Structure 1
Amino acid sequence: MRTIWLTEFGDPSVLVAGEAPDPKPGQGQVLVDVEAVNVVFIETQIRAGRPPLPMQSPTPPYVPGTGIGGVITAVGPHTDPGLLGRRVIGHTNGTGGYAEKAVVAAHQTIPIPAELSTADAVALLTDGSAALAISGLGAPKPDEWVLVEAAAGGLGGLLVQLALTAGAKVIGAVGSEAKLQAVRDAGAQAVTYARPDWTERVRTLTGGVGVDVVFDCVGGETGTAAASLVDAGGRFVLTGAAGGVFTDTRALAARGVTVIGLRQLMGALGNQRELAATALEEAVAGRLRPVIGRTFPLERAADAHAAMESRSTIGKTLLLV
């Protein structure tokens, strides 16, 4: 089968198209003919040899990728043959997703509703489940001000939608002028942290009162600047470190801000399968809309990583097989 190998840690060129034997499902596993592959920003960090702490990377060479969608074509021993032919999404055991075929634990697969394309379902596999968990932790309320970082990305865009649905007043912060319109199209106010005065712009939009909730998807200097905008009694939710390091939140508690950190996030993500299934249901109901910005054929995984690292992508990036 066709695969993408990560030959060593480095720039996107270390992702090389190649071949590998077809995997065989073991007991309790299914084999999926892959149609779409989830690409997440953290995979670019792992590929570069800079995984956010406390994550550890597999040892190259290996086939990266964990989130896939497609059709079950084989089942392992003592596994329900009724699963054959089912269109599903699911996570691999940590590697093996950038390939034509992938093995997934049968109990972790999620049927794709007929109303959704495989690509849309895969776009919600990780980001949809994470957005539901994160939104639940931050719990935006009607008329609260909510700041979402990386608001034009796959996860950030869904957080914007969920906050708006909750009745909050939402400001989406993005990394470039080109992404502002995507946030406005979603129904939120938009600022770019490419401008040095972006926090002043947020203060102006809120009438000088700051924000009640921050969904910190970027970390680093952006996260630190966003933290300065939270008023006492507000919530600061750590969700990622696209900027390379997680935001230092130690000073926030002294200001009366509730910090919701990685431990709470991991706890909220405990039943990721159930969350992803709920995300699909919300999409069918029209309450959650995946935005697929760019797709690449499997062989161009390196180009997908390069596009994500250039911060030029809007919405979800997928590989199509």
Structure 2
Amino acid sequence: MRAVTIGGFGPPEGLVVVDLPDPTPAAGQVVITTEAIGVGGVDALIRRGSLAAHGFAVGHVPGTEVAGTVTAIGTGVDPAWAGRRVWAPTGTGGGYAEQALVPAEVLVPLPPGLSPVDAVTLGGSGAVAHFALLRAGLSPGESVLVRGAAGGIGVVAVQLAARAGAVISVTTSSADRGDRLRALGATHILDRAGRGAPGSHDVVLDVVAGADLPTFLDALAPNGRMVVVGVMAGPPPADFGARLLASFRKSLSFATFSTDTVPTPDRRAATAALFTAARRGEVIAVVHEVLPLGQAVLAHRALDSGAVFGRIALVPQWR
């Protein structure tokens, strides 16, 4: 099969097309012939070498979610999965390929009327947004600030928070993006530094982190909760905890969140419910662009430029 690998850490041009052996499913596994592949911020972090210390090496195949058709099953897998169209997370990678190998236990069927592109636009990002808002304990009528709201996680978080009856502020980089986020349910539009709206929030959902994270801790109301789901701007200052202690009397809470800690059945159920909501038009899959897998370099250039609104999807074509 053909796949895209990291030929060298650094700029997008380090992504290269290679031929790899077709995967063979072991017990409990299936092979998905891909029809769409999600492009996420973590793919860019891995490609840059930012996560090399966590075991990601040159030759890695990026891509943490795919949608397509189950074309091979291993022993112990229900034969009914064969030939079904599904969405699946691929763990830490393996998605930028014509075929992906995943455990059968993670498969989520695609409902009729939901495209593979919409599935990879909503699947991984939607699960993060859903469970992060649960972790924050967001209640109807509370104020939530979504930092980095124009990205894949952010656009779903805005919609889910709106459905939950929250008052939503967002940070973004332009008036046009602000208008698009307002159409998804945002109430107040802030600039990237958090200026432009009320400065007190019950919940901050942060996809960005980086040096400015302490500023957003300061924006929490008494009993406020910050949940960090991404580090696209890098880690926060090493002493950011001092900001929490300085606000001791406000009883603030800080948490990180990864769907790696969510039991597989719960994640599957939440993703299936999100797909059903999308099919009904209750949640919108915000697709920035669909590109051939052979042009993954272009997808990563867009990620690095900060120009993506929603998510980019790749399809297994080569030009």
TM-score by length of 2: 0.89
C-alpha separation in 2, matches of 1:259 and 1:269 = 23
Over 3 Å counting, the alpha-carbon distance change for 1:121 and 1:167 in structure 2 is same
Q: Which residue of 2 aligns with 1:320?
A: 315
Percent of aligned pairs sharing the same letter: 32
Instruction: Tell me how far 1:141 sits from its aligned partner.
Output: 2.4
Q: Which residue of 1 aligns with 2:226?
A: 236
C-alpha separation in 2, matches of 1:264 and 1:3 = 27
C-alpha separation in 1, matches of 2:260 and 2:76 = 31
Q: One-letter code of the match for 1:307?
A: A
C-alpha separation in 1, matches of 2:45 and 2:315 = 21
Higher mean C-alpha deviation, range 228-237 or range 256-265:
256-265
Q: Which residue of 1 aligns with 2:59?
A: 61
C-alpha separation in 2, matches of 1:170 and 1:119 = 27
CA RMSD of aligned residues (A): 2.2
Q: Give the alignment of 1:245-284 within 5 angstroms.
A: 245-246=235-236, 248-252=240-244, 254-262=248-256, 267-268=261-262, 271-284=266-279
Over 3 Å counting, the alpha-carbon distance change for 1:183 and 1:64 in structure 2 is same
Q: Which residue of 1 aligns with 2:75?
A: 77
Higher mean C-alpha deviation, range 273-282 or range 106-115:
273-282
Segments of 5+ residues of structure 1 without an aligned counterpart are 204-208
C-alpha separation in 1, matches of 2:67 and 2:6 = 21
Over 3 Å counting, the alpha-carbon distance change for 1:34 and 1:267 in structure 2 is closer
C-alpha separation in 2, matches of 1:177 and 1:131 = 23
Q: Which residue of 2 aligns with 1:32?
A: 32
Instruction: Tell me how far 1:101 sits from its aligned partner.
Output: 0.8
Question: Is residue 302 of structure 2 the alignment partner of residue 304 of structure 1?
Answer: no
Instruction: Tell me how far 1:233 sits from its aligned partner.
Output: 1.6
Instruction: Tell me how far 1:245 sits from its aligned partner.
Output: 1.2
C-alpha separation in 2, matches of 1:41 and 1:108 = 21
Over 3 Å counting, the alpha-carbon distance change for 1:185 and 1:7 in structure 2 is same
C-alpha separation in 2, matches of 1:227 and 1:191 = 18
Q: Which residue of 1 aligns with 2:47?
A: 47
Of residues 175, 178, 181, the one that matches 2:179 is 181
Segments of 5+ residues of structure 2 without an aligned counterpart are none
Question: Is residue 148 of structure 2 the alignment partner of residue 158 of structure 1?
Answer: no
Instruction: Tell me how far 1:200 sits from its aligned partner.
Output: 4.1
Give the secondary-structure state (helix, strand or coil) at the position aligned to 1:300.
Answer: helix
Would you say the 8 A contact 2:278–2:284 is kept in 1?
A: yes
Question: Is residue 206 of structure 2 the alignment partner of residue 211 of structure 1?
Answer: no
Question: Is residue 202 of structure 2 the alignment partner of residue 202 of structure 1?
Answer: no
Deviation digits for residues 57-95 of structure 1 (CA, Å, limit 9, x no counterpart)? 322212222211100111123332221110001122533
TM-score by length of 1: 0.89
Would you say the 8 A contact 2:214–2:243 is kept in 1?
A: no
Instruction: Tell me how far 1:140 sits from its aligned partner.
Output: 2.4
Instruction: Tell me how far 1:111 sits from its aligned partner.
Output: 0.6
Count of aligned pairs between the two proteins? 311
Would you say the 8 A contact 1:116–1:284 is kept in 2?
A: yes
Over 3 Å counting, the alpha-carbon distance change for 1:287 and 1:138 in structure 2 is farther
Instruction: Tell me how far 1:269 sits from its aligned partner.
Output: 6.6
Higher mean C-alpha deviation, range 285-294 or range 132-141:
285-294
C-alpha separation in 1, matches of 2:180 and 2:226 = 24
